Structures are given as C-alpha cells and as structure tokens.
Amino acid sequence: MLNPTALKCLHHRRRQLAQQIDQPVLLWSGVSVARNFAANCFPFRASSHFLYFAGLPLQNAVIGLEAGQLTLFWDEPSPEVALWHGPAWSRSALAAQIGAEAHAPLSAVPHWAKQVASLPASTQACRQQQSEWLGRTVLENRSCEPASESARSDLQLAQAMVQLRLQQDDFAQDQLQQAAQITVAAHLQGMKTTLSCPSEAALRAEIESVMMAHQCPTAYASIVTVHGEILHNDVYPHPLEPGDLLLVDAGAETPLGWAADVTRTWPVSGCFSSTQRDLYDIVLAAHDACIAQIAPGLEYRDLHLLAAQIIAAGLVDVGILKGCPDELVERDAYALFFPHGIGHLLGLDVHDMEDLGDLAGYALGRQRCDRMGLRYLRLDRPLQSHMLVTIEPGFYQIPALLNQPNLREQYRDCVNWERLAHFRDVRGIRIEDDVLVTPEGGQVLTSALPTQAAAVEACVQASKS
Amino acid sequence: MLNPTALKCLHHRRRQLAQQIDQPVLLWSGVSVARNFAANCFPFRASSHFLYFAGLPLQNAVIGLEAGQLTLFWDEPSPEVALWHGPAWSRSALAAQIGAEAHAPLSAVPHWAKQVASLPASTQACRQQQSEWLGRTVLENRSCEPASESARSDLQLAQAMVQLRLQQDDFAQDQLQQAAQITVAAHLQGMKTTLSCPSEAALRAEIESVMMAHQCPTAYASIVTVHGEILHNDVYPHPLEPGDLLLVDAGAETPLGWAADVTRTWPVSGCFSSTQRDLYDIVLAAHDACIAQIAPGLEYRDLHLLAAQIIAAGLVDVGILKGCPDELVERDAYALFFPHGIGHLLGLDVHDMEDLGDLAGYALGRQRCDRMGLRYLRLDRPLQSHMLVTIEPGFYQIPALLNQPNLREQYRDCVNWERLAHFRDVRGIRIEDDVLVTPEGGQVLTSALPTQAAAVEACVQASKS
C-alpha cells in the first residue's frame, strides 16, 4: 500500500525526529470510538502524529521511535476477529509494510525504554493505557511552563513535531494533491447538480458521494448551506431557493489521512444578482491578492491584513463602509463582515496540529491578540517553503455580530446601514483554496476549481444545456 | 419538530417509567467526540436512552425523570457560540419543544434529587461528570449481582428501560417506518446503479447518498462488498467484477435516531449464476419461512432453529451437506455456513439496547449458550406485540471457519467438499428485513425491496433499458 517514495519519506521523517530529540518516543494510534454502543463505532481515525511516522492507519498500535528506527507494537487479532472482520496481516508483514526495524506485542511497550517522550493519545481509553504504561500522565496543557523533566521532554517532542510537520515532504505533497483533486471533483459535482438539487441535504449528498466513491471520508463536517453567515454550520435543513447563495466548505481526506479544505460560494439559480456579484468580486479580489503574495519569508499575518485592506476598500466602494480603508483596518471595522482569520495550516489535520494548541500556528514567543480583527487568526508565523496553508477570505452578515449594540455604537460612523440593507441577499460568501508555499511562490493545489464569478456560473449552468 | 403524536408518546413513556421505578432518574445525552482534534468532531449522536424520553438529540443535556415529569437541564450557548454556530434556542423554548415540565441549568443537576438511578453516559467525559455529580460510579457491568443500593437501582432502571423499549409505540413506529422507507430507496438506488458502478466504494456512495439527501446518517457502518463472507466488512477496496455477488447491509437512521437494518445480495452482472441462484433460493426460503411464523408468543430462538432446518435441508438438496437435516441442526453442522444468529432487536440502536449487554436480548434467567450454532444468537425471548426484529439468514464460505482442522474433522461426515467447490462463486449471501410483531403476524417494514431472485435481477437490469 505504501510506495517506495512514501517509505523513503517515512524513513527520512524518523531520522529527522532523531535529530530534534534525544529521547525515545512512543506514539499511540488510538482505537475506534463507540457511537451508541460499544460494537457500533464511528469510522476509525488514527492519530495524526502516529500517521506521520507510521504511514498507515493501524488500529490499536503503538510505535516506538529511537535514533531513526521504528518499533511497531501491535497484537495480531484473535481467530474470532478473523471470522467477523476477515483475514488480518501478521505483525511481521505489517511491520515490513511500514518499514519498521522491529516489532513486538503491545505488552512490550511498558518495558521498551525508560524516560520516553510522548504526546497525549487521541482517545480517553488510550490515554488511560498511556498513563499506566508510562507511569505518568502526558502533558496536555502546553501553555504553562512544564513542571517536570517528563513534561519538558513531552514539550520538546511537541515542538519537534511542529518543526517536521510544518513542511510537507514528497509523500505528503502527493497525498495532499490527491485530497485536493478529489475535493475539486466533489465541488464540481456539487456545482453541476445544483439546478436539480432540491435541498442542502441533497447537494451535500452529491458532493460527499464523490469523496466516498474514492474511499475518502470528509476531513471535517461539510458546510453546505444557504446560511453561510453561520460559520460552522453542519446541519442541512433548508431547501434551495433560486435567489439564494450557496456556501460549500467541504474537503476530502485520503485513506492515509491527508486533508483538503475548500470553499466555494455560488448562486442556486446559476446567476449571481448584481449585489451578490459585487460582494463576491470583493472577496475574490482579496483571495487572489493574498495568493499572489505568497512566498517563503512572508508573514502570514500580513496576508490577513492585506485581505482586510482589500475587503475594507471594496466595501467602501460599494458604500457599505464609510471612511478611509487604512483606518477601517486599523479600527477592525472590516471584521464586522470578515470576523475570522484568512486561513490556517493544512496537512494531516484540517487545522494542522491544532491538537497542540497554538504551538504550530504561532511562532515561538507570539500569542493570540484580542483585537477583534485578529483574535481568530489561527496562523501567525513567517511562511516557509513546503508549508501548506489555506487562503479563505469572506464576507458575512452575521446577526449575532451586527446586532450587538456596543459594536453598532463603536462603528456608528463606519457603516452605512441603509446601504447595507440593499445587500440583504448576501448572507455569507467565502472562497477558499489550498496553497503550497514554494520558492517560486504559491502553488494552488485546488486551482482546477473555478473562482471567477462567470466561470462559477457557467459551471452551475452546464447541466442545463 | 415533534408532532402531537410524538409528544403524546413521550409523555406516555415518562409515565410508564414512573410505574416501573420509584426513584428519580437522571439520563445524560452526551457530547460530541473528537476525531483528530478537539474542534473536529464526529457527528453528534445522543444516547438512545436519553432520546427515548427527550425525543430530540440535544447536545450536552441531562434529563431528570420523576413521577412522569421531565426536567430538562441544559445551558444556553454563549454569544461566541452563536457567532460560529448560529442562533440557538432558549432553554425554555427547548423545554417546551420536548414537553418538559421544568428546566434548569446543568449546575442544578447535582442538587436535583437524592438517590437517583442512572445509566452509564455514552462518552467518557460525560461519565466523569456523571460520577462527580452523583457522587458514585454508575453500574456498567450488569452480569454480576449488584453490590450496593445504588447499583441495585441502576439495574432496576436498566430493566425498566428494557420493558419499555422492547415494544415500539406509535412515535417509534412512525420513525422506524421512515428509516425503513429511506433504506429501501437507498438499496433500490444501489441495485439500479450497479451496472454503472466500477467499485464497492462507488456503489456505497450511491446508496448512502440517498440516506444523506434525507438528512439521515447510516445507523451503522455500511457493508457493501463482494466479499460477503467477511461478516462485518466495513472497507470498500474492491472493483465490481461481472461474476461477483454483491452483499449490501446498510440502514438509515432518522434525524431523531431511529434505525433500519437491511441486507440484500445481488449479482453484479444482473444475472445470478445457477450455483448462486440455488443457494440464494435456500437463504430466501429460510427468510420467508421465518417471517411467516412471526407472531406474539413465539420463541425467537425457534425462528433461528427453523432457519437452520431450512438451510440444512437446502444444503442437503444441493449436495453440500450430507445426512438428515434434523441431525445436521442437532449437530450444528449448518453453522459452518450460517454461523450467526437469525437476527436481533431493532429500534433506536441497530442492535437495540446492546449497551445493556444481554439484558434486552435475553429473557430473565436465560443466557448465551456456547453451542456453535447458537452462541451468536442476540435475541432469545418470546416475541411480543410491537417488538421490532430483524430476520437475516445467510450462507457464507468463510475460510477462517471452513479451514479449521478441528471443525473439518468434527464435520467430516457431513460436508461434501468436492461438491462445495462447485459453489465457489458464492462467498456470502444474506437477506435481511425489519419485521414488526403484530397480533396479526409479522409486518415487514422493508417489504418494498424485492427479495425474489428474478425481481432482484430485474431491478439491477432496469437501468440497461
């Protein structure tokens, strides 16, 4: 299942880790989680840190990493399991598959090494096993100063993971390209079937069925909604009405665990209204400008502020905001309509390494600021070659935000509320692509999916002819 | 969202509970479970016991039940949650929705009543909260004699739940009918698109997209496989080849949590081979005979033995088994090819109340026997009116079973191995329907889906014309 390039990358990752940390490392893959009773589980998802070094999503496995060598700890299933779940690999065959130098049953884990570093296992059952076998709890809160030797080594491991996983190697890029391609195909299917879909739920089914046909789960709960102003909307109760804008934020995850994260917004009817198109073009201008700027060394936070600037200027042009764009950015007035960050890291996790808090997203010594325009920025570090980021500006009319009396007061002089009312047929717009940082600039993995308003319209209308 | 019939049934259930147990009862709905990091969760599934009384899948809620009255404990979301997840119901509106007599914040739970009975919450985080708030752990193992007063009352509650949930009321029947109808539509879509589907994964996508378009998750991991001999096969790696039989075991769950569970087996080419048809007809004969027998008072275990008898006789007829069918049943020889039980309870859970161990499946005083033919029987009690059960006989050639030297020795005189080799194009067949026990006999909720070989073939071939 793993090709030679993948195996080469896995070996390289293991050696790289050894250069970052002296101690032996143990990582748990996790186990399936019960849905409504023990035998009825959610689909298994291996821990991303485990996947990064082991390559395959093995259930109930532990890996030991030391001096670039990998030991696989895993128990072969019982004969009864074979009756219900089919023939299983032997442990030695599995070890060979992932290029492990050694293998042993799980019972060998507690005796494998002293003073190992680890990261919290992803399920409660595994965390308990981890505590028992390591004789200690594993650091979960990385915001405070580590109080013990073991907590220090866990933190060092977390920092090493960030250094490694920030940059996508060939295996990762191959997987991320696959995830992007399948996601593009899924969105295209969504666009092309919109005119015949009666509801959000039916459209979601069209989109996710493309991923499913490629054996890919969704990397996160898809957003398929005519209420794009609800940022994390994962229910699908509404019919599709001709005047609506549809916001689709959906991404595939490859069977080996690598994610895509793509958003498009299109008119249910196949034609943007003039108000919808005006705001769409502003969001698209921000999207395009940010991607054009991407290069190693650039501060990601500056991309956020660039998007803010373009959105502020655009909203002044159409009469929604009043004043000088620079000042509107300074005062965070744009964030009334674009309250989230311009994007985030992407990799094995859709918000890559978010399990480590802001350790991956924020450069050492930096932390979230509480300015309205920046508090939801998930990434604040200089871009590096082979980093994968999303660029996802948006425009929303969120009642919970726009109706806050203190905000209305604070931005009384900035917003033309009567003018805004003309744009009531725009509840939410977002355009999001996955961009690999390369020495030559940003490489958009999802560029096959149209962004221009006219191209999007043509795609939605294609099935009519 | 809940219609008057549903509300009436909910009130009735609450009063029924009060007749079964004197103590106040607390039930947790549960919380979303993290997939790869805390903010990226699996879709929320409320605890079935909670759903049974509350009706709606509320996240992070607790209900208190006493003397037929329901108190809803729930915290209204913070304004920041509204920003990301949209406007929320107020607690009082939600309480009205589910017909609660009282409502309070979660912090009131620990003070609500003394000596309450409870059932284990479905997630670890909730179980911890439950222990803290109740000041004790909640009985998980119901197989041993309860050692304390509180363990006794938890067991009494579990037994009361079984008494209530064994019989489906009007609200439940309405939901179960919906789940069955959507599942039938999904299977029909699968049959009708088989000829154009290249792979198991593509066919799974066709089937599940029908459920998804109705806002229904799958009640369990779908089985869509050309390797039907792997009983719980939840991967989809194979292409569909013309000579293959395809086994599809897939069921929808309504948004309110009620399940269907249906299996059909059909030829990828649209035409059964003669060997496939011979064995298919044997399985179907067992299926039909069991359903024809269903009536209140009948022992479910006798249905299993009836299926065993028909399968044994059929396999003798085609020359796979040798000897007298009665004796082959007596000796469990049929279980070489039909190693699981004839079915199980169905309701809010696909194996209803399996979280309570065999408390629901096995009548008081009965327990699993370790005979090869009966050890996987999940239900052993007399049928009652308004019980919903599955009937799912099968025939499989499972290498892990048929190649066991001790079994081959034990059944040396029963199996004609050369003759069996003629049937190598049959790896697995199962036919499963959902049957409501009524005073007039079995009512098949899924009868709109064809079972006769010719009708199944016609359905697969329909898209050709």
Residue of A nearest to B209 (CA): A205
Contact at CB, A355 and B36, closer than 8 angstroms? yes
CB-based contacts of B259, cutoff 8 Å, min separation 6: B176, B179, B219, B220, B251, B252, B253, B346, B347, B348, B349, B350
If one compares B269 and A144, the residue with the highest pLDDT of the two is B269
Contact A36 B47 (CB under 8 A): yes
Question: Residue for token digits 């050639």?
Answer: B397
Across the interface, of B36, B214, B230, the residue whose CB is closest to A201 is B214
Binary contact (A220, B399; C-beta < 8 A)? no
ipTM of the complex: 0.96
Whether A350 and B82 lie within 8 Å, measured CB to CB:
no
Mean pLDDT of B43-71: 97
| pLDDT higher than threshold 70 for residue A104 | yes
Q: What is the DSSP letter of A44?
A: P
pLDDT tens-digit map of A360-383: 999 999 999 999 999 999 999 999
User: Nearest residue of B to residue A356 by CA position?
Assistant: B37
Q: Please indicate whether, in this complex, the C-beta atoms of A39 and B351 are within 8 angstroms of each other.
A: yes
Nearest residue of A to residue B202, measured between CA atoms = A213
The span from the CA of B99 to the CA of B428, in Å, is: 47
Smallest CA–CA separation between B430 and chain A, in Å?
14
CB contact under 8 A, B349 and A40: yes
Does residue B143 register a pLDDT over 80?
no
Answer whether B208's CB lies under 8 Å from A212's CB: yes
Contact B205 A212 (CB under 8 A): yes
Structure tokens at A332: 């965070």
The verdict on a CB contact (< 8 Å) between B213 and A202 is yes
The span from the CA of B366 to the CA of B383, in Å, is 15
Give the mean model confidence (pLDDT) for residues B210-229.
98
Please tell me which of the candidates A43, A86, A215 has its beta carbon nearest to residue B201: A215
Query: With 70 as the cut, is the pLDDT of residue B429 above it?
Result: yes
pLDDT band at B84 (very low <50, low <70, confident <90, very high): confident
Provide, as residue numbers in chain B, all residues whose Cβ is less than 8 Å from the Cβ of A347: none
Phi, psi of A113 (to 5 degrees): -160, 160
The answer on pLDDT for B148 being more than 90 is no
Mean of the pLDDT values across residues B10-18?
Answer: 98
pLDDT digits (tens, 9 = 90+) for A59-102: 999 999 999 999 999 999 887 787 788 888 899 999 999 999 99
**Residues of B with Cβ-Cβ distance to A351 under 8 angstroms:** 37, 39-40
**Which architecture does CATH list for B4-165?**
3-Layer(aba) Sandwich (3.40)
Q: For residue B220, list chain A residues with Cβ-Cβ distance below 8 A.
A: 40
- A19-47 confidence digits (pLDDT tens): 999 999 999 999 999 999 999 999 999 99
Asked if B43 and A221 come within 8 Å (Cβ–Cβ), the reply is yes
Strand spans (E) along A188-272: 223-225, 245-250, 262-267
- In order of B113, B140, B150, B241, the CA distances from B146 in angstroms are 22, 10, 8, 54
Asked if A230 lies within 8 A of B47 by C-beta distance, the reply is no
Confidence of residue A144 (pLDDT cuts 50, 70, 90): low
Task: List pLDDT tens digits, range B229-238.
Answer: 999 888 999 9
Chain B residues inside the 8 Å CB shell of A214: 201
Q: Which residue of A has its CA nearest to B259?
A: A36
What average pLDDT does this structure show over B296-320? Answer: 98
The angle at the Cα of A365, spanning A364 to A370, to the nearest 5 degrees, equals 115
Domain boundaries, chain B: 4-165, 170-464
How far is B207 from A98, CA to CA, in rounded Å?
Answer: 33
Per-residue confidence band for A139, with pLDDT thresholds at 50, 70 and 90: confident
The pair of three-digit structure tokens given for residue A93, joined into one six-digit string: 């065959």
pLDDT at B142 over 70: no
From the list A85, A205, A351, the residue facing B213 with the nearest CB is A205
Output the pTM of the full model: 0.97
Q: Which residue has the tokens 């309250």?
A: A339
Any idea what DSSP says for residue B240?
P
Q: Which of A384-398, B312-326, B364-378, B442-456 has the weakest average pLDDT? A: B364-378
Min Cα–Cα distance to chain B from A46, Å: 8
Contact A47 B38 (CB under 8 A): no
Mean pLDDT, residues A7-20: 98
Strand duo B40-41 + B34-37: pairing: antiparallel
Cβ within 8 Å, pair A209-B214: no
Q: Minimal Cα distance from B400: which residue of A? A: A83
Question: Per-residue confidence at B81, pLDDT binned at 50, 70, 90?
Answer: confident
Span A195-234, pLDDT tens digits? 999 999 999 999 999 999 999 999 999 999 999 999 988 8
Instruction: Answer whether B205 sits within 8 Å of A213, measured CB to CB.
Output: yes
Band (pLDDT 50/70/90 cuts) for residue B244 is very high
pLDDT of res. A389? 98
Chain centroid, CA A25 distance in Å = 26
Average pLDDT of chain B is: 95
Query: A44: nearest CA in chain B?
Result: B35
Would A4-165 and A170-464 be classified into the same CATH topology?
Answer: no
Residue A439 distance to chain B (closest CA, Å): 31
Which residues in chain A are closer than 8 Å to B237, comparing Cβ atoms? 215
Tokens of A234: 């994962």
Which of A42, A122, A205 has its CB closest to that of B209?
A: A205
Q: Do A213 and B231 touch (CB under 8 A)?
A: no
Q: Which residues of B touch A399 (CB under 8 A)?
A: 87
**Per residue in A253-293, pLDDT tens?**
999 999 999 999 999 999 999 999 999 999 999 999 999 99
Helix (H) or strand (E) holding B443, with range, is strand B441-444
CA distance B365 to A180: 57
CB contact under 8 A, B83 and A214: no
Hey, are the CB atoms on B85 and A209 less than 8 Å from each other? Answer: no
Phi/psi zone of residue B224: left (φ > 0), alpha (ψ -120 to 50 degrees), beta? beta
Mean pLDDT of A130-154: 84
Note the pLDDT tens digit of each residue in B342-358. Answer: 999 999 999 999 999 99
Least Cα separation, residue A81 to chain B (angstroms):
10
A33: closest chain B residue by CA? B33
User: According to the model, what pLDDT value does residue B465 have?
Assistant: 62
Closest approach of B49 to chain A, Cα-based (Å): 10
Residue B1 has pLDDT above 90, yes or no: no
The pLDDT of residue B88: 83
Average pLDDT, chain A: 95
What is the structure's pLDDT at A147? 78
For Cα atoms B407, B409, B414, give the angle at the middle one, nearest 5 degrees. 85
Q: In whole angstroms, how far apart are CA B278 and each of B140, B225, B454?
A: 46, 20, 12
B209 vs A34, A206, A227: nearest CB = A206
Least trusted range by pLDDT, from A55-59, A87-91, B260-264: A87-91
The CATH homologous superfamily for domain B170-464 is Creatinase/methionine aminopeptidase superfamily (3.90.230.10)
Residue contacts between A and B (CB atoms, under 8 Å): 140
How big is chain A, counted in residues? 465
User: Is A155 in contact with A359 (CB distance < 8 Å)?
Assistant: no
